[in-house]
Amino acid sequence: MARLSDPIDARCVTGTLLHLRGVDRARAARISGCFGCTGCSNTAVAAGTGTVLARSVLVQRHASRGTESDGRDLRVNLLIGIVGVGLTDRTDLFVAQPLVDTRLRLTAANGQRVERGARGLGDPRVFLNHVWLQRDGPSGKLDVNATFGARVPLGVSGAEDDFGRVPEALQPGGGSWGFFVGSGLTWRGSGRQFDMELRHGRNLTNDGFRLGATTTLDTSLQWSLRGETWAGARWMGLLELNAQHVAPNERTGLRLDDTGGTRLLLSPGVQTLSRHGILDVLVQIPILNDVRGHGLHEDLTLRLGYRRRF
């Protein structure tokens, strides 16, 4: 019994093209570039020296296997706070802190349905985005970046419930250090933006247990929609494709059955943009659930986000 991946990672910081009244398009793209949609494609656009960005994200995830009466049903709720600051014109520093609530319903050995889980602070993520290539062309602008970061084991990792210590897969925190690297690109044109990122993360061992390594490839297309809403806000369309492969978890060096696998998610969404910030919603729909053994299958995931620049 183990989660397919960490419930939060740095990919919650993503990119979009922003059009706001009174803000030129080049500057607007830099404002929103580091804090875009609620999906998973990290942007390659830098925020700019001294720019501070704040964001909150609510994620509701559902995974299951088997029937309602005798299967397993996992629900994870996340509230994520993210703060970023532009250190230079090309380098940004981010800190992401999640509040995690995990609930797993399953059938116990005596045939009764029980619920296990925990609630508390997850492990914070600290990471740097550095733009190492910028190119302007007749049809748009291209930015390419590199990302380096770590998951710091400060979250709750020893929670207990009525049945004893909660399994590692349901703990809000991982209990060990994790490290990740990645590279992405962003192309921005007239009313459109395309993002792509490849990322790989590994975890250290905590008391003989280690979460499997994660590799992700995310792509995102955003485009301006016609029409305006109340107070001059504008609509943006969003479509993402999120691929993730997770290696099996390990205990004392041995791979655990029913953990790890590959999933592919199609993620449509919309954004409302105004001077006061950006409000967005995205639904992640599984189109591939290739899990090992009797691992859980991803169901729908809902993401809501709000962010603004200071």
* Measured distance CA(251)–CA(274) in Å, rounded: 49
pLDDT higher than 80, residue 167: yes
Q: Are 44 and 144 in contact (CB under 8 A)?
A: yes
pLDDT tens sequence across 65-107: 877 666 889 999 999 999 999 999 999 999 999 999 999 998 8
pTM of the full structure: 0.81
Q: Within a 10 A sphere around the Cβ of 88, how many other Cβ atoms?
A: 13
Classify residue 2 by burial, with Cβ atoms within 10 Å: 0-12, 13-18, 19+: buried
208 confidence band (pLDDT: 50, 70, 90) = confident
> How high is the pLDDT of residue 228?
59
Distances from the Cα of 241 to the Cα of 132, 182, 196, 218, angstroms: 25, 17, 10, 6
DSSP string, 47-86: --TT-EEEEEEEEEEEEEES-TTTSEEEEEEEEEEEEEEE
* Measured distance CA(17)–CA(290) in Å, rounded: 33
> How high is the pLDDT of residue 231?
59
Tell me, what amino acid is at 25? Answer: R
pLDDT tens sequence across 16-48: 323 322 333 333 333 334 334 444 445 666 778
pLDDT tens sequence across 220-262: 999 888 765 655 778 889 999 999 999 998 888 888 887 889 9
* Measured distance CA(38)–CA(258) in Å, rounded: 29
> How high is the pLDDT of residue 162?
87
pLDDT higher than 80, residue 285: yes
Classify residue 204 by burial, with Cβ atoms within 10 Å: 0-12, 13-18, 19+: middle
* Measured distance CA(6)–CA(90) in Å, rounded: 28
pLDDT higher than 50, residue 126: yes
What's the chain's average pLDDT?
Answer: 82
More confident residue, 276 or 40: 276
pLDDT higher than 60, residue 299: yes
pLDDT higher than 60, residue 1: no
> How high is the pLDDT of residue 43?
63
> How high is the pLDDT of residue 274?
82
pLDDT higher than 80, residue 266: yes
> How high is the pLDDT of residue 23?
32
- Domains of the chain in start order, with CATH, are 10-309 (2.40.160.40)
Phi, psi of 27 (to 5 degrees): -70, -40
Buried b / exposed e along 143-175 (16+ C-beta atoms within 10 A): bbbebebbbbbebbbebeeeeeebbbbbbbbbb
Q: Are 45 and 25 in contact (CB under 8 A)?
A: no
pLDDT higher than 70, residue 132: yes
> How high is the pLDDT of residue 69?
64
Distances from the Cα of 263 to the Cα of 42, 168, 170, 269, 290, angstroms: 18, 21, 20, 19, 6
